[in-house]
Amino acid sequence: KKLQILLAVGILLLSLTHSFSQNSVEIPINAANDALSDFPDGSLADAGISEETMKTLEEDMKSYVRSGEMPGAEVLIISKGKRLYHKAVGWSDIEGQVPLQTNTIYSIKSMSKPITNTAVLMLSDQGKLSLDDKVLKYFPDFAGDERTTLRHLMSHRSGYNGLGNTANHENILDWTNALVREEMGAEFETYNYADFNFAVLGAIVEMVSGIPPEKYIEQHILEPLGMDDTYTNFDKNADWASRTSNRYRWWTDRLLLYWTPKVEQEWGFYPGAWGIWGTAGDYAKFLTMWMNGGEYKGKRYLKESTVKEAVSTHATQNNSSIYGLGWFVLDNSTQPFFGHGGIDGTRAMAYQNDDMIVITMTQARASGHLKALWYRLGMYGVVDMHPPFMTENTSTRTTISLSSPQEYTGEFMGNIEGQSGMAHMKIMLEGDQLMITIGRLGLATSDLFYLIPQGDDT
Res 20 pLDDT > 60: no
Provide the pLDDT for residue 407. 65
What is the structure's pLDDT at 447?
A: 52
pLDDT in tens, 391-424: 333 323 334 455 666 666 777 666 554 444 555 6
Q: Residue 437: what are its φ and ψ, rounded to 5°?
A: -105, 125
Looking at residue 389, its pLDDT comes to 43
Task: Say how far apart CA 88 and CA 34 lie, in whole Å.
Answer: 13
Query: What pLDDT is recorded for position 422?
Result: 54
Residues 6+ apart with CB under 8 A from 455: 399
Q: Taking the CA atoms of the chain, what radius of gyration do you get in angstroms? A: 22
Query: Who has greater pLDDT, 451 or 121?
Result: 121
Count CB neighbours of 292 within 10 A.
17
Please compute the mean of the pLDDT values over residues 256-267 and round it to a whole number.
92
Higher pLDDT, 383 or 184: 184
Query: Whole-angstrom Cα distance, residue 371 to residue 133?
Result: 37
Query: What is the predicted pLDDT for the residue at 196?
Result: 95
pLDDT digits (tens, 9 = 90+) for 269-291: 999 999 999 999 999 999 999 99
Instruction: Assign 448 a pLDDT band (cuts: 50, 70, 90).
Output: low
- Three-state SS letters, the chain: CHHHHHHHHHHHHHHHCCCCCCCCCCCCEEECCCCCCCCCECCHHHHCCCHHHHHHHHHHHHHHHHCCCCCEEEEEEEECCEEEEEEEEEEEECCCCEECCCCCEEECHHHHHHHHHHHHHHHHHCCCCCCCCEHHHHCCCCCCCCCCEHHHHHCCCCCCCCCCCCCCCCCHHHHHHHHCCCCCCCCCCCCCCCHHHHHHHHHHHHHHHCCCHHHHHHHHHHHHHCCCCCECCCCCCCHHHHHECCEEEEECCEEEEEECCCCCCCCCCCCCCCCCEECHHHHHHHHHHHHCCCEECCEECCCHHHHHHHCCCCEEECCEEEECCCCEEECCCCCCEEEEEECCCEEEEEECCCCEEEEEECCEECCCHHHHHHHHHHHCCCCCCCCCCCCCCCCCCCCCCCCCHHHHCEEEEECCCCCCCCEEEEEEEECCEEEEEEEECEHHHCEEEECCCCCCCC
Measured CA to CA, the distance from residue 241 to residue 226 in angstroms comes to: 19
pLDDT for position 121: 98
Residue 53 is predicted with a pLDDT of: 94
> Is 80 exceeded by the pLDDT of residue 13?
no
- Secondary structure string (H, E, C) spanning 29-67: EEECCCCCCCCCECCHHHHCCCHHHHHHHHHHHHHHHHC
- At 451 the pLDDT is 53
Q: What are phi and psi of 55, to 5 degrees?
A: -65, -35
The pairing of strands 328-330 and 337-342 is antiparallel
- Tell me the per-residue pLDDT of 342-396, one tens digit each, with 9 for 90 and over: 999 999 999 998 899 999 999 998 766 777 788 788 878 888 654 444 433 332 3
CA–CA gap between residue 289 and residue 295 (Å, rounded): 5
How high is the pLDDT of residue 250? 81
Decide if pLDDT at 444 tops 50: no
**How would residue 21 be classed by pLDDT, with cut points 50, 70 and 90?**
very low
Give the per-residue pLDDT at 173.
Answer: 97
Instruction: Give me the pLDDT at residue 149, please.
Output: 98
- b or e along 345-379 (b: 16 or more beta carbons within 10 Å of the residue's beta carbon)? bbbbbbbeebbbbbbbbbbbbbbbbbbbbbbbbbb
**pLDDT tens digits, one per residue of 103-116:** 999 999 999 999 99
Highest mean pLDDT among 121-125, 159-163, 333-337: 121-125
The residue-averaged pLDDT of 155-179 equals 90
Phi and psi at residue 327, in whole multiples of 5°? -135, 145
pLDDT at 157: 97
Model confidence over 303-340: pLDDT tens digits? Answer: 999 999 999 999 998 888 999 999 999 887 677 899 99
Residue (of 214, 198, 172) closest to 325 by Cα position: 198
Q: What percentage of the chain carries pLDDT values higher than 70?
A: 78
Inter-residue contact 104 to 390 (CB < 8 Å):
no
Percent of the chain with pLDDT over 90: 62
Judge whether residue 428 has pLDDT over 60. Answer: yes
Lowest mean pLDDT among 35-49, 85-99, 235-249: 35-49
Model pLDDT, residue 370? 76
What pLDDT does residue 283 have?
98
| pLDDT score at 390 | 41
Q: pTM for the complete prediction? A: 0.82
- Predicted local confidence at residue 114, as pLDDT: 98
pLDDT at 67 > cutoff 80: yes
Q: Cβ neighbours of residue 6 under 8 Å, at least 6 residues apart?
A: none
What pLDDT is attached to residue 15?
41
Higher pLDDT, 457 or 61: 61
**Mean pLDDT, residues 199-224 taken together:** 98
Confidence band for 298, pLDDT divided at 50, 70 and 90: very high
Going by pLDDT thresholds of 50, 70 and 90, the confidence category of residue 178 is: very high
Mean pLDDT score of the chain, rounded to an integer?
84
Per-residue pLDDT, 442:
38
